[in-house]
Structures are given as structure tokens and as C-alpha cells.
């Protein structure tokens, strides 16, 4: 009952203050205010008593976990108030700082995104967040194993159901061919599109592009992340652990919106994100939120033409250096 009244009050507030916002986006504004109000009840625990009490539990999608749950947990760790963390399979290496981490969820759910115990959920008009500290994944997982003669370029692709329909934002085979042909002389290109068996799935279906066999045939210089996992020189505990180690040695990324782009933004350097549609555009997430993960330079391409333009301007012309 209280939640219904609170939501009605916040909805009215949003209507009065942000009346021109499209109707389908107004509840993100409301949820931002709800998250801010929720944190007020922990003021004395977080800033006065500061004992280990906080249990951060999250079973939503990969992107909001990286965007909000993981930095929230890390803030509590740094604050001395983190007791333990709970999340999905294959996440222990993300929460390496946690005093006790449990992998308790077999699948990720959309309902799990609406965890109002976090400083933010999904999208927001205000990313000036307290209780939010980016996790130093690059410093933690940098290694001398995945090192090559040329700087690493990660192409992190996805080909999933989007908004209950077919894929919209992805690197097609034609696009991959154009990019790889331009860049393979300059970079060691590592291609990454995780198979369903290697990650914790959410409610989005993963489709087959048939690009792996094509890459091996047309561009054998390209290294497949899944081949690195099969070889497993570094003894990775799972595919997520391997990704962290390989990404930590790179500073050039091409990625797709969602968890793919969020993870790539944690490792500094430059991350070119292809996102053709989504609430991220309205909320300008790629310029307001994503640079906060590591200080990376974030480029947002809204279509294939803009993607190619950015590739030529920032990846071909510039002399690459690893950070």
C-alpha cells in the first residue's frame, strides 16, 4: 500500500517538474527519486556507525549490475560497511573485493533490475551519484599472459533479441569485414561474442550469426575469445574471468550497447559503442555515465555510417598505444 502511494506521489512530482518528458520514459525519472529516498534511511549506518551490515544482492541483467550494483558494493567495501554480496553465476571475479560473495542465481531477470536498494536502476536523468565507486578491474586483472606484438583491439559483439523483437544494434558480417580489413595490420584483433553456455542468460534470446566460421576462413588473423578460453593459458575459472584478464590488457574497444558496452567501458582507453536505439539516447548515458567507470573516452555511433566514420577517425588515423 505504501509503495503505491509513494509511486503516485513521485509520478505527480515528475509530471509537475518534467512534464515534457515522453510518457514511456517518465517512470525512469520517478525511479531515480525513489532510489534517492530509499538511501536516506541508511544515513546513520553508512556515515556515523559504519559497521559491516550491508548485503548487496542483485539478480537483474548484466548491464545494470555493472552500472549500479557492482559500484554500490565497492563503495560499501571502501566505506567499511560491506558485509557480503549475492549475484548470478560467474560473478565472483567481479566482486573480488567482497568479504563473502555468493553465486545464487542461475538466470538474470528483468524484474531483478528494479532493485530500489541501489543508488540508481536502469536509466536516469541524474548520474551524479553518492554511494557509487567504480571497481578497478583493469588494475586487478592486468597480466603478462595476454600480451601481443601489436596493441589489442577488442571487438565485443552481440546478436540478441531486443525489446521482444529481432536484433537491432550489432556488427554484421559486412560491417566486421570492413572494420577488420582496415584495422588488422595495426592491431591484434580479438573477437568476442559469448555463447549462451559461457554466460548467465537473461530473458533475451541469443541468435546465431554464423560469423565464427566466416572469421576463421576470411580473417584467420583474428583471435576468437572462445579459442582463448579453450586454450586457457591463464587458468581462468570461467569465461567471465577470462574476459576480465584479456580486457585488462587492452585499451581499444568496439562494442554494442548493453552489458557488452558497459564491460568494455571499465578498462580505460577508448570505447566505440554502436547503439541505434534505446532509452540511453534520451538520457545521454554514454556521455554522462559510461566515462565514470574508468575515465575511458566513449564514442557513440547511432548507425553503421557513423560507426565507420568513427573507426576511420579514431582507430585508423590515430597511432595506437596501449594504456
Same domain, 154 and 274: yes
Q: What pLDDT does 204 receive?
A: 65
Could you give the CA distance from residue 36 to residue 116 in angstroms, rounded to a whole number?
9
Looking at the domain assignment, is residue 209 inside a domain? Answer: yes
Looking at the domain assignment, is residue 134 inside a domain? Answer: no
- Strand partners for 54: 82
Parallel, antiparallel, or unpaired: how do β-strands 188-192 and 152-156 relate?
parallel
- Strand partners for 298: 271
Task: Name the DSSP class of 5.
Answer: H
Looking at the domain assignment, is residue 99 inside a domain? Answer: yes
Phi, psi of 268 (to 5 degrees): 65, -160
Looking at the domain assignment, is residue 321 inside a domain? Answer: no
Same domain, 41 and 84: yes
User: Which residues constitute the domain of residue 75?
Assistant: 2-128
Domain boundary (94, 128, 162) is at 128
Looking at the domain assignment, is residue 106 inside a domain? Answer: yes
In the chain (323 residues long), the average pLDDT of successive 10-residue segments reads 83 89 94 96 96 97 97 98 97 98 93 95 94 97 97 94 79 96 96 77 69 94 96 95 98 96 98 96 97 98 97 79 55
Looking at the domain assignment, is residue 293 inside a domain? Answer: yes
Domain count, the chain: 2
Parallel, antiparallel, or unpaired: how do β-strands 252-256 and 270-274 relate?
parallel
Looking at the domain assignment, is residue 225 inside a domain? Answer: yes
Look-up of cell digits 566466416: 214
Same domain, 186 and 302: yes
Domain boundary (92, 107, 128) is at 128
Q: What pLDDT does 322 receive?
A: 58
Same domain, 155 and 270: yes
Q: What pLDDT does 21 receive?
A: 92
pTM for the model stands at 0.93
Cell numbers placing 46:
553508512
Amino acid at each position: 500500500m505504501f509503495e503505491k502511494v509513494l509511486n503516485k506521489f513521485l509520478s505527480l512530482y515528475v509530471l509537475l517538474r518534467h512534464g515534457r518528458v515522453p510518457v514511456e520514459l517518465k517512470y525512469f525519472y520517478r525511479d531515480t527519486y525513489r532510489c534517492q529516498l530509499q538511501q536516506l534511511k541508511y544515513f546513520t549506518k553508512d556515515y556515523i556507525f559504519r559497521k559491516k551490515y550491508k548485503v548487496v544482492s542483485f539478480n537483474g541483467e548484466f548491464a545494470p549490475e555493472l552500472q549500479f550494483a557492482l559500484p554500490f558494493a565497492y563503495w560499501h567495501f571502501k566505506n567499511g560497511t560491506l558485509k557480503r554480496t549475492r549475484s548470478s553465476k560467474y560473478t565472483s571475479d567481479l566482486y573480488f573485493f567482497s568479504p563473502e560473495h555468493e553465486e545464487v542465481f542461475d538466470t538474470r531477470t528483468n524484474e531483478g533490475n528494479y532493485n530500489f536498494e541501489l543508488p540508481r536502476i536502469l536509466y536516469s536523468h541524474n548520474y551524479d551519484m553518492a554511494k557509487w565507486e567504480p571497481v578497478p578491474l583493469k588494475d586487478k586483472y592486468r597480466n603478462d599472459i595476454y600480451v601481443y606484438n601489436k596493441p589489442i583491439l577488442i571487438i565485443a559483439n552481440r546478436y540478441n533479441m531486443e525489446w521482444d523483437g529481432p536484433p537491432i544494434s550489432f556488427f554484421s558480417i559486412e560491417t566486421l569485414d570492413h572494420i577488420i580489413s582496415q584495422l588488422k595490420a595495426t592491431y591484434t584483433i580479438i573477437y568476442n561474442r559469448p555463447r549462451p553456455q559461457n554466460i548467465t542468460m537473461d530473458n533475451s534470446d541469443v541468435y546465431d550469426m554464423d560469423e565464427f566460421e566466416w572469421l576463421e576462413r576470411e580473417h584467420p588473423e583474428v583471435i576468437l575469445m572462445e579459442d582463448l578460453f579453450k586454450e586457457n593459458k591463464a587458468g581462468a575459472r570461467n569465461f567471465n574471468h577470462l574476459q576480465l584478464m584479456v580486457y585488462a590488457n587492452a585499451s581499444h574497444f568496439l562494442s554494442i550497447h548493453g552489458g557488452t558496452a558497459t564491460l568494455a567501458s571499465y578498462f580505460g582507453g577508448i570505447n566505440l559503442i554502436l547503439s541505434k536505439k534505446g532509452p540511453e539516447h534520451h538520457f545521454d548515458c554514454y556521455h554522462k555515465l559510461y566515462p565514470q567507470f574508468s575515465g575511458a573516452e566513449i564514442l557513440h555511433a547511432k548507425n553503421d555510417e557513423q560507426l565507420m566514420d568513427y573507426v576511420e577517425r579514431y582507430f585508423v588515423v590515430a597511432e595506437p598505444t596501449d594504456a
